[in-house]
Chains A and B, each alone.
Chain A
Amino acid sequence: MSGAPVLLEMRSITKEFPGVKALSDVNLVVRAGEIHAIAGENGAGKSTLMKVLSGVYPYGSYSGQILYRGTESRFSDIRASEQAGIVIIHQELALVPGMSITENIFLGNEPGRGGVIDWKVANRRALELMARVGLEEDPDTLIKDIGVGKQQLVEIAKAFAKDVKLLILDEPTAALNEDDSQHLLDLLRDFKGRGITSIIISHKLNEIAQVADSITILRDGKTIETLDIKADGVDEDRIVRGMVGRELHSRFPDHTPNIGEVFFEVRDWTVRHPISADRLVAKHSSFTVRRGEIVGFAGLMGAGRTELAMSLFGRSYGTYVSGQIFKDGQEIVLKSVSDAIEHGLAYVSEDRKSIGLNLLDDIKTSMVSAKLSKISSHGVIDHVREYQAAESYRTSLRVKAPSVDEGVTKLSGGNQQKVVLAKWMFTDPDLLILDEPTRGIDVGAKYEIYGIIQRLADQGKGVVVISSELPELIGLCDRIYTVFEGTITGDIDRQDADPELLLKQMTSAKKAQRS
């Protein structure tokens, strides 16, 4: 790729916020027609850099130069950068759920005259654009009726509607399952063939290694290095080394499990979908958890893992049909979340920002919120005990914050996740269900989270980990169940677990024998 002309050059970009240097002297060179990855831990400045490029932070609010197609660009806002053909697709998709695909593709960019939309043209062009991104849907379908993977494609089609030359994708596969991710990556390669340049920001290093031509690594607001993936023989470990600035020998802490007796058992658990009554999200699921054991749940997106977990957790999802829960040999009936907490269950949701945390809270309020009774008597909160409890978690989990009075929005993803973990550890659970515990957090923080999970297991608690990242499950869990369309299809011990076997079980309805 080194021969291709330079499309974009950002020269010694420095961006300061009051009291903070978010970017200092960052350089980025992107050549025409390549896929350029940007990697770095949370807070390294990736998003800030892209916001400078796309004009979210207008010219004048940063120092340094942006050379785009040979001339210096001074974007005053997003519109200006979009006119130049730079389109950014954010992690949180900017689509209107109640509008159709066509309407979304042309939102703010409607074909027509004098404000009157020409729907015939719009629909025809929408079909063309959808064909280009490989989206087969009726353009009149509403966004809320299609899956996240397809929504992502609509976003890209929308970018094409604006005549994109440089496409920036911020964590495009974070919410996608393996199939959809693969499709998206193939698509990026396809665009490359048609001369569209892409910048991709991703935490999934295997994807970067697979698809990118070159990579720029940021750390603490500075450019660390730019590598040519093929020429420099870059692999995941090499990227990690650049990101964290040290060799990370293992992505999982060493751990010798100390597994006891079965103490938690679910039998024949069947749950109906909350809206479509004929659909079962969990079908006669049975599983066990032993003390000190970390049990993984593998499955494709939509397999029903989250639904199973939430329905166990005080029937927070769907309609209960049948099934029993046993804890320490006794049957327990959990009709509400408070029942579940009372019986020592904890559920850490996959979406910490929208259902895991109250973003208005500070750290201490969040940490005690699931068991206020522990720090109050007769309903009156003891602020001293609250503070002390939170403070001890802040130190033991190494939450990076000046004090527990800090608002949770100010924390990075990894630290927010630690706060959520603390919130559930505070309830003294016997069984913790962790749903995608490392989603959207960086390598260093992941390592710490794994350590916390292992410590919890060592205290004799049972830990259930739901994850879409197979290497994570294989590296962390003592035993892995596979789930396919609401049915548990496999129960695989650590030593037998390999991605191939798991994938096979995750995609087949046939219940496998225990290996």
Chain B
Amino acid sequence: MSRVKELQKSLFGGTTSNARQFGMIFTLVAIVLLFQILTDGLTLSPGNLISLVSQYSYILILAIGMLMVIVAGHIDLSVGSVAAFVGIVVANVMQDYSVPWFPAILIGLAVGALIGAWQGFWVAYVGVPAFIVTLAGMMLFRGGNQFIGNADTIPVPEGFRTIGAGFLPEVGPDTGYNNLTLLLGLVVCVAVVIREWRGRRTRREMMADVAPMWISAIRIVIPVVVVVFATLQFAGGRVGTSFPVSGIILGVLVVIYGFVTRNTAGGRHIYAVGGNARAAELSGVKLKRVNFLVMMNMSVLAALAGMIFVARSAASGPQDGIGWELDAIAAVFVGGAAVSGGLGTISGSIVGGLVMAVLNNGLQLMGVGSDRVQIIKGVVLLLAVALDAYNKKQGRFSVIDSLMRPFRRDAALSPASAVEAGQESGKSPVAG
């Protein structure tokens, strides 16, 4: 194993799609810095960061659900239409039936769950491929949106708009910054430190090699620096703005779903189903239930995303959510998920989504037309996945690896793993 790979492993942990994530984080940093220079510092300005978060949080929320759908080996094309449908239903109940905004949100989530149960039923219990079920759903709920809304827009009341256009309020003494945002930043920094510390403790309990202290230091210092910088930017923007409420919703969801996919039996079942459905079934995984829940969850998240979007744009319209499914799918694949299922992480998808978002935003700031933005985004998606395919064929992560090859130490492998490693590149582990 090369030194770079070891470092990569100790910095990012040791799962299969990490190589890609490693690359993606570097790509993200590179893109941010590139646009920071090209836009004369506009990219990382408070105003732009705030609009970046509120503009893309709903796509990233979709990406969370989509990651789980794709890991389970399915796809969901209906999310944009489901979001639009829920948006119009919620706007409608608030306008015509004067339902207050909070119950309206619950109604929206319930409608999302119902739609999800409908789609999950066809996928899991009837066995119709998710591609077909959700293609049908895409048409069905787009039509539903226009039927209920009469192909017109319906405005939503002020209170409801908080979830899409709201910010952390100003409280406490006047520090020149938004105090709650500062607090939030502090909490995140503490969480980073605790997480690393607990990680080390776990490794010790496993009697496994604990990474050297300097690696832990890197793993703490870099995120903390990023968080502190972001906190100051978000907290120090125009008065009345701060960290968006939608960003907080996204953050909470990332933490919850990150935990579920990584640390729970249910999360592991999703990966098992996507990796090898028959093997999972023969290991006692309730295949149908997993498929049902994954599809249902996606629609609930789509409902949430739809409501956040409606709240942000202050009205629900017939064109809401068009093309969202593709943005969410792109984020997941750029973030390292496998088309065949079984591989991918929430954090990877978020990074993938951020790469696409920063790209979009940066190009717009530079005044590049949406035609060319689309072309560039298409090329990036293709290259990201092509690079992955290429790496897989080579059997290693090659871009950084090849740059670092001259520095590589000739690691002697143990004979047993040596033969096997040789076999692996021959792709036939059984017949020697």
Show the binding face of A for B, using Cβ within 8 Å. 16-22, 40-48, 51, 91, 170-171, 201, 220-221, 313-314, 316, 336-338, 340-341, 347, 349, 353-362, 365, 369-373, 376, 379-381, 383-384, 387-388, 391, 400-403, 405-407, 409-413, 416, 423, 440-442
Are A412 and B280 in touch, CB under 8 angstroms? no
Tell me the B368-417 residues at the A interface (CB within 8 Å). 396, 410-417
The interface centre, meaning the residue of A43, A384, A441 with most chain B CB atoms within 10 A of its CB, is A43
Chain B: which residue is nearest A337 at the CB level?
B284
Do A43 and B283 contact each other (CB < 8 Å), given the known contacts A388-B206, A412-B432?
A: no
Is B240 part of the contact surface with A, judged by Cβ < 8 Å? Answer: no
Known: A358-B342, A412-B429, A442-B432. A43 touches B419 (CB 8 A): yes
CB distance from A384 to the nearest CB of B (A): 5
Additional A-B contact list (9), CB under 8 Å, known A381-B268, A409-B429, A410-B417 = A313-B282, A337-B285, A349-B282, A357-B279, A369-B268, A372-B265, A379-B266, A384-B206, A388-B206
Q: Is B205 engaged at the interface, CB distance under 8 Å to the other chain?
A: yes
A337-B284, A402-B417 known; A373 vs B265 contact (CB < 8 Å) = yes
Inter-chain CA distance A413–B431, complex, in Å, is 8
Q: What residue in chain A is nearest B428 (Cβ atoms)?
A: A47
List the 9 closest A-B pairs by CB distance, nearest first.
Answer: A358-B275, A22-B422, A42-B432, A413-B430, A20-B422, A372-B265, A338-B284, A43-B419, A17-B422
Query: Nearest Cβ in chain B — how far from A464, in angstroms?
Result: 16
Among residues of B, the one whose C-beta sits closest to the C-beta of A174 is B431
CA–CA, A221 and B285, complex, Å: 41
Contact A354 B278 (CB under 8 A): yes
Asked if B286 and A170 sit within 8 Å, CB to CB, the answer is no
Instruction: Annotate B12-23 by CB proximity to A: 1 below 8 A, 0 otherwise.
Output: 001110000000
Whether the pair B429, A411 counts as a contact (CB closer than 8 A) is yes
In Å, the complex CA distance between A354 and B279 comes to 7
- CB contacts (< 8 Å) of B208 on chain A: these are 387, 403
A430 to chain B, nearest CB (A): 16
- B263 CB within 8 Å of chain A: yes
User: Distance (Å) between the CB of B260 and the closest chain A CB?
Assistant: 9
Q: How far is the CB of A423 from chain B (nearest CB, A)?
A: 7
**A413 contacts which of B266, B284, B429 (Cβ < 8 Å)?**
B429
Instruction: Check B429–A416 contact: CB distance below 8 A.
Output: yes
Are A411 and B420 CB-contacts (below 8 A) given A42-B430, A44-B432, A48-B426? yes
The answer on a CB contact under 8 Å between B284 and A358 is no
What are 5 inter-chain pairs, A to B, with CB distance below 8 A? A21-B422, A337-B281, A372-B268, A416-B429, A440-B430
CA A357 – CA B272 in complex, angstroms? Answer: 9
Report if A48-B422 is in contact (Cβ < 8 Å); known contacts: A359-B276, A369-B272, A410-B417: yes
Q: Which residues of B contact A388 (CB under 8 A)?
A: 206
- B419's partner among A22, A201, A413 (CB-CB below 8 A) is A22
**In the complex the two chains form, is A381's CB within 8 Å of B264's CB?**
yes
Distance in angstroms between the alpha carbons of A441 and B432 in the assembled complex: 10
- Report how far A41 CA is from B426 CA in the complex, Å: 16
> Is B424 interfacial (CB-CB < 8 Å)?
yes
When the two chains form the complex, which single residue of A316, A355, A402 contacts B276, counting CB atoms closer than 8 Å? A355
CB distance from A66 to the nearest CB of B (A): 18
**Min CB gap A78→B, angstroms:** 14
With A357-B279, A358-B279 known as contacts, the answer to whether A410 contacts B424 (CB < 8 A) is yes
**Chain A CB within 8 A of B418 CB:** yes
Expressed in whole angstroms, the Cα–Cα distance for A314 and B411 within the complex equals: 48
Nearest-neighbour CB distance to chain B for A325, whole angstroms, equals 17
